[in-house]
Structure 1
Amino acid sequence: MADGIEFASLLCSRLCHDLLSPVGALNNGIELLADETDPEMRARCLELLAESARASANKLKFFRLAFGAAGGFGDSVDTREVRGAIEGLFGGDRRIQVGWMVAEGALAKGTIKILLNLALIAGDALVRGGRLDIGAEAGATRTEIVVRAEGPRIVLDPELKSALTGGTAADALTPRAAAAWLVWNLAHGRGGAIHVSDEADGVLILGAELPGSP
């Protein structure tokens, strides 16, 4: 695996980039509110501030589960918390519908991180919105994850596809590919595999096969 400090720097750069937009909108809204005297405009500014605050909170909640140590001190994470984080990240602007097909009440933290990051990558690929279906099935000897993205336009950066399938060297990583590289490393470290379909007919499928119990 890449040097821990270097990878942490890449990941932090990615997170800062994703948080810049809602936090910047908060700052702009506060500046507008300070100078605005019209009651209707002030009300609209407050609405925008609330939307930006929600977006920031939802992203932070998702990132804590996907990259951090959230989910408690045990070895597993409640999948209801995971579902809420995904729906909060993608459901706010109604551009992306989320379908949840995970029957298990809890999954291992490493498995959860793979699921969340695959969902993040697939959701980002829906550049014009669409639908994101997330499924997972845990057996006695193997856990399978499938994330299906469907929309009018799907774009998966070749850099991400390479990182997901282990084709990117650690010293060639960029912040954009950090999440994808994390997915591959988590799966590879468990003797598992990541599968990426071609973006054909408006559908992209990302999958993970992980040996061992859930």
Structure 2
Amino acid sequence: MNAISLDSLDLAALLCSRVCHDVISPVGAIVNALEVLEEDDPSMRDFALELIKKSARNASARLQFARLAFGAAGSAGAMIDLGDAGNVANGFLNDEKLSLDWDAPRALLPKNQVKLLLNLLVIAAQAVPRGGKLVSRATVEGEQGSFEITASGSHARIPAHVEELLAGNAPGGAIDAHAVQPVYTGMVARAAGMEISVSIEGETVTIKAARPA
């Protein structure tokens, strides 16, 4: 494993590629449904309209999540409401395969802590590729939060190389748009002064983040 060397331009490009990848699928479905409507087939009209509604909601949820998880979200000293974070997390992660149990007080936290929590949820979702349940617990003391997320489901596993990527290391020191998300998560954790631990027991992966004792 080698330390990742990544300048700001490369980081921005990889994150943009990651966000675009997440949004392409629902937007593409909308385009396909519009093409079906243009064929003026009455038997397909209801199906196409329902697909447009579902895909538009999906795209909106993904963009709202990305705005908080990857975006600037205001000035350097910005605070984010955990309630707002919970709303976008539920919209993004709850679907036919995955459910999210969000437990956090309605409190303001520094933006990097909230961004860290949202990014850890992405990693937790990747830990249950066949679907399952995420449980996110946050405790807050003053302006300091600590987080514990469990991901339970069939064939749960710690995503490949995620611990090394969180620490800023990768084979050959190079990363792609897929690997940039855990790398970015580790960068946000360090900026927030928090440490991440990942463990697995049976079919449950546990991710914790807290300020060092």
TM-score, normalised by the number of residues in structure 2: 0.88
Mapping 1:168-207, distance limit 5 Å:
168=170, 171-198=173-200, 200-207=201-208
Partner of 1:32: 36
Q: What's the offset of the Cα at 1:183? A: 1.5
Greater Cα shift, 180-189 or 162-171: 162-171
**In structure 2, distance between residues paired with 1:141 and 1:88:** 25
Change (3 A) 1:141 1:43: closer
Q: Is the 8 A contact 2:165 2:186 kept in 1?
A: yes
Partner of 2:119: 117
**In structure 1, distance between residues paired with 2:55 and 2:82:** 26
**In structure 2, distance between residues paired with 1:54 and 1:153:** 29
Q: What's the offset of the Cα at 1:66? A: 0.2
Q: Equivalent of 2:14, from 3, 10, 31? A: 10
Mapping 1:119-138, distance limit 5 Å:
119-138=121-140
SS in structure 2 of the partner of residue 48 of structure 1: helix
**In structure 2, distance between residues paired with 1:64 and 1:141:** 22
Q: Is the 8 A contact 2:112 2:192 kept in 1?
A: no
Q: What's the offset of the Cα at 1:153? A: 2.4
Any unmatched runs of 5+ in structure 2? none
Write out per-residue CA displacement over residues 58-83 of structure 1, whole angstroms, 9 at most, x where no aligned residue: 00000000000236886211111101
SS in structure 2 of the partner of residue 194 of structure 1: strand
Partner of 2:81: 78
SS in structure 2 of the partner of residue 146 of structure 1: strand
Q: What's the offset of the Cα at 1:27? A: 0.9
Higher relative contact order, structure no. (Cα contacts within 8 Å, ≥ 6 residues apart): 2
Q: Is the 8 A contact 2:116 2:188 kept in 1?
A: yes
Q: Is the 8 A contact 2:113 2:192 kept in 1?
A: no
**How many pairs are equivalent?**
209
**In structure 1, distance between residues paired with 2:168 and 2:99:** 30
**2:19 partner letter:** L
**In structure 1, distance between residues paired with 2:184 and 2:77:** 21
Q: What's the offset of the Cα at 1:94? A: 3.1
Q: Is the 8 A contact 2:62 2:92 kept in 1?
A: yes
Greater Cα shift, 45-54 or 203-212: 203-212
**In structure 2, distance between residues paired with 1:183 and 1:84:** 20
SS in structure 1 of the partner of residue 168 of structure 2: coil
Greater Cα shift, 57-66 or 1-10: 1-10
Q: Is the 8 A contact 1:104 1:138 kept in 2?
A: no
Q: Is the 8 A contact 1:147 1:207 kept in 2?
A: yes
Matched, 1:22 2:45: no
Any unmatched runs of 5+ in structure 1? none
Write out per-residue CA displacement over residues 175-198 of structure 1, whole angstroms, 9 at most, x where no aligned residue: 112121112112223443111113
TM-score, normalised by the number of residues in structure 1: 0.88
Write out per-residue CA displacement over residues 34-75 of structure 1, whole angstroms, 9 at most, x where no aligned residue: 11422x420111001110000000000000000002368862
Identity %, equivalent residues: 33
Change (3 A) 1:34 1:158: same
